Amino acid sequence: MNPRYRVTLTSEERKELEALTKTNKTNARQFLYARTLLLCDTGLQGPAWTVEDTSEAMGVTPRTIEHLKKRFVEEGLDAALERKKREKPPRKYFLMGLLKRD
């Protein structure tokens, strides 16, 4: 099966991701995503691992990797590394009476 989204990192993006994987101040999710993008890189410097090999090595599902690659291709590096902000607050705030429904 051909990949839906192809990750091709620029040299600047590669340096930024490598720096994230070498510092002790990177949280676990960012480290995982940075390392996954480095493994999926199909550029000249990248190893171009398959989704199946990457998912096995990183301990996540292939679907997680496909979602990460999609966010990277469509929204950029920063969006791929950060968790998406909620559009609506959780339901419990409505139940507690702290917020009103529209």
55-71 pLDDT, tens per residue? 999 999 999 999 999 99
Q: How far apart are CA 20 and CA 30, in angstroms?
A: 8
Query: Residues 27-45: pLDDT tens digits?
Result: 999 999 999 999 999 988 8
Written as one letter, the residue type at 45 is: Q
Q: Residue 4 sits in which domain range?
A: 1-102
pLDDT of residue 85: 79
CB 66 within 8 A of CB 51: yes
Phi-psi region of 10 (alpha: psi -120 to 50; beta: other; left: phi over 0): beta
